[in-house]
Chains A and B, each alone.
Chain A
Amino acid sequence: MVPRAFSFRLFRNFASLLPALFGALLLIVFWPTLSGAFGDDGAFNPRMLLPGNAKWEGVRTTAPARWAFELTRRTSAPARLRPTTVRPDDASLLAEPFTIWGGDADIPPLTTREVKGLRRFLALGGILLVDDFAPETQAFTRAAKRELARVITDRSPVTIGPENVLFRSFYYLKRPIGRIEGPSKIDAYVLGGNPQIIFSAHDLLGALARSSNDTYAVQVTPGTDPLQREKANRMAINISMYVLCSNYKDDQVHAPFLMRRRSSEPQ
């Protein structure tokens, strides 16, 4: 049996070592990511925009995190692995230059404060991805366009195709794609030649979403292309890279390389 005094002294010594042990444990756990943590403020964050009373729920809630994970896995770009949500009338909308507005049906009109918030976000150069979760009906796309027309009054959406930098910001893509194959081009509000509001009629988040058993949550349509989900991932990566690098791949210094590669591809 251990004497009482000895056991108390041992306990007291151990207690005094606790903070140091705890600190060392923290250091061991976080050491590999210390330098990575510095700079996370500028990391890509696919945060969801939730206007009105909207809640972020359903099968696609895992999609932003998956998007961030794929970005960090495939590229050098840092990303927030636990993306957040944001309200359009909240000041935190202006904290970062990217947000995703998704939905599958008609939506109530934006409030005046929400319109103002979005207007400030776009005036600072923010980029908004509008993802239609039910592109078969396009009810959400129509509603979003209707509401965004109140936000941007001096421009209208235009159609952009594979010639746009969005389709070569990381992967070389021939068309947009998501959970559904959808139209071969996308609509966008463009500012200075660069897309600022991107309308995805392809349910991009649907293709990225994972279920609790780590399988894909939603089937892709038509699914005849075995690479459809991979291409949707690449589309998401390209959007990320466009958000982080702007029109970097439009620079003339890159053009000769990319043009050579295009011409060498089989027609």
Chain B
Amino acid sequence: MNRSWALSGDLAFPFIVLACVLSAISLALLAYELFRGRRKAFAIGIAVTGALGVVALLLAVLRPVAIVSRGTTVGSRVVVLLDGSRSMDLPGDSGTRKATGLGAVAALQKHAGDVRLGMLRFGDGAPVPLALGASAGDAAAPYRPSPRSDLGAALEAIAQASDERPRALVVISDGRLDRPSGEASGAAARTALGVLDVPVHTVVVASDAPRDASVRAVRIAGAAVAHQPLAVRIEVGCTQGLSCDEVPVSVRELHDTGEPRPLAHGVAKIENGAGTIELSITLDRAGPRILQVQIQSPSGDEIPDNDTRYITTTVTRDRVRVLHVAGRPTYDVRALRMWLKSDASVDLIAFFILRTPDDDVNASQEELALIPFPVDELFSQHLSSFDAVVLQDFNARPYGLEKYLPTLARYVQGGGGLIMVGGPDAFVTGHYAGSALAEVLPVDLRLPAEESPVDLGSFVPNITEVGRAAPVLSPLRDLIGDVFPEMPGTNVVGEPRRGTTVLLEHPARKTKSGSPMPVLALGEKGSGRTIALTVDGSHKLLFSTFAAESAAGRAHGAFWDALLGWLMKDPRFEPAVLDLPGGCIADEPTTLVLRPLPGQKGEASIKIARLGNPSTPVKSLTANVPGDAAPIQIDAGSLPAGGYSISVEIGEGAEKGAPARRDFACEKGGDEWADPRPDVDRLEAISRATGGTTVKAANIDTIPLPAATEVSAERRVSAIVPPWTWTVLASILLGLHWILRRRKGLA
């Protein structure tokens, strides 16, 4: 309970002031009068009665009151924002920066007294509640570090929140922030706060930079387009007097198999602790590619993990460059060529065998508009420049392709696409069985000795269950339904290889295991994809009574557009989408999000393999896909730094769908460790702009925290004495004063 008083219980403040001023004037006039008269007798009595009379009159006007109140004291709300980014795992003033920050949080909790602390952690986007460990100051508090440190977003979120507004903010960080950034950090922080006019105190968790050389930034100028040179600007930093005048820099591309492929290298010259080098690289494969940018660090480097960066860059295609090789001209070749030529997104290089050595052309070489088939040139020098190779009814033996089949297999494993189209000279009859290329095809070419390599019987291929669900056949089925035109025979192939997706199958012919023979099969090998189409009658989708009656010839384009799209990993034809919303931080928990297509259900089999060593998955996970197309979160655990590929297959047995794949990189520190120097100046700028203070973590108890606020629950106001008492007293005193004045002859 609190007791106090007030001059008046009902008069407004200006009237109180007016009354006091008038009383003061009265007293001044009285003093002046007595001083001028120089009459000592009765002077004291006049002065005393006059002064007391004026005071009594003033009190009669004001009527002072006594106040008795009852209430509570509420501590001010202060929000603590701890930097939750990966850079807080670097060395700080007391252990790691994270440990230093958590120690500061604990100290602040002790120092705060009545202040109500709200503990938040900022990183990417709006801040989240800070989950502390079992005891305050526990550096192993269970949270996954953020790959970003966006203080700007955190300040905006607090300013716009609808809950109680804080009276002050305390930011605990190393100052290495993504936002606010640059020289105008202070103004940017002020802008982020908007109408929330509160001081932002900053607490520095690291004062000194470690001795370190690092890849500070990798900047790619413009969009990466396959087969076109790309400028990569690499910034290298060197701090704390490390001996690094010249730092060797290399750029390599991670592949599914084998060692990373060198793309470029150079030497960065370091001046004033930093240097920049621009290297030109050319990426041949489209899609997400993982680049490894590495420096050769000098001795004494305290943080070797930031010497290597893994950059995921999405390579687009200006046009899909397709090599179309056909063993002989037929209506099927014509149809495919016409479609490839009509597609503006395809850059077609075609070579057809128009004449065999046995043909009698009855003309000299000069009279023939023919050129030699440049097999050596195509498959040794230029193969990597193609995004896809179509081998249509092509016999590998007579034209010298056999010796390049291992090269072609490596091309596929390195990310190239291959389509083998049937015909009398394809698959087994084309001398591919037992070759290196056969190993990358989605079907086995090893047939029993007694089995004919071709089947001359006409048939209508069946669409498999997987084919009905696969996006790759969807455009075709929209046009022709589930019935294919009759095919005039087929190449005979064996079992589908492991991981193959069979979309079309033979209605009668069986493989050795008794399952229907694949007619259209999709497969993945390494980073590349392959398609086997065992028939040479797809032209019937373009030109036939079936084509005219079902889809006016558009079915052929829909069929091949989807096949080429799948081969080139066009997202339209992917059976599922894999995402890593929080990225991948090495040795920290990683979450995958699987977005299946509508209708896909069953068990999803997920395999994570290291690029360069795909045969040994580092993780094998499963998840249940209920079929409602809702995203599914999957805990992938922690992974060491490096490049990885995830593949997922949904469904089981015959219903198993085509695999979806995504390549990604895990970095120990990523951008957050690229420049490990703490940025105290930035924290000071933020504090200065908002009226806060900057302190070291050890001095966090010196931060001026706002005082508590009293909240009243009950208040009683009563007159000190009854109001008439003041009036009577004033009358008596003024009357006495008047008598004394008369006796002395004053007016």
Contact = CB atoms under 8 A, between A and B. Distances in A.
A34 interface: yes
A76 B327 contact: yes
Main secondary structure on B side of the interface with A: loop
Nearest to A192: B342
A35 B426 CA distance: 10
B508 interface: no
A171 B354 contact: no
Interface string A104-126: 00000000000000001001111
B359 A38 contact: no
23 contacts: A35-B454, A38-B489, A41-B540, A42-B330, A42-B333, A42-B334, A44-B330, A74-B355, A75-B355, A75-B359, A76-B359, A77-B330, A95-B543, A170-B354, A170-B369, A244-B334, A246-B338, A248-B337, A251-B349, A251-B350, A253-B350, A258-B371, A261-B369
B367 A42 contact: no
Given A95-B545, A97-B543, A172-B367, A246 B331 contact: no
Contact of A243 (B334, B454, B544, B545): B334
A38 B488 contact: yes
A94 B334 contact: no
Contacts of A75: 329, 354-355, 359, 361
Interface string A73-86: 11111100000000
B362 A230 contact: yes
A49 interface: no
Given A75-B354, A126-B543, A39 B330 contact: yes
A241 B553 CA distance: 22
A247 B334 CA distance: 10
Interface residues of B, number: 57
A257 B374 CA distance: 12
A77 B454 contact: no
A254 interface: yes
A76 B356 contact: yes
Contacts of A120: 548
Nearest to A117: B548
A40 B547 CA distance: 19
B415 interface: no
By Cβ-Cβ distance, the 10 closest A-B pairs, closest first, are: A42-B330, A41-B488, A244-B329, A168-B369, A42-B331, A76-B328, A257-B371, A38-B489, A35-B424, A42-B332
Interface string A195-237: 0000000000000000000000000000000000010011000
Of B424, B537, B542, chain A has the most CB atoms within 10 Å of the CB of: B424
Given A37-B456, A38-B536, A78 B330 contact: yes
B360 A74 contact: yes
Interface string B32-59: 0000000000000000000000000000
Contacts of B333: 42, 244-245
Interface of B: 327-334, 337-338, 341, 348-356, 359-363, 366-371, 393, 423-425, 429, 452-456, 488-491, 536-537, 539-540, 542-545, 547-548, 552-553
B367 A171 contact: yes
B359 A73 contact: yes
A38 B547 contact: no
Of B368, B452, B540, chain A has the most CB atoms within 10 Å of the CB of: B368
Contact of A95 (B490, B544, B553): B544
A249 interface: yes
Given A34-B454, A38-B489, A41-B488, A244 B350 contact: no
B54 to A, nearest CB: 112
B329 A241 contact: yes
Contact of A248 (B352, B490, B542): B352
B14 to A, nearest CB: 93
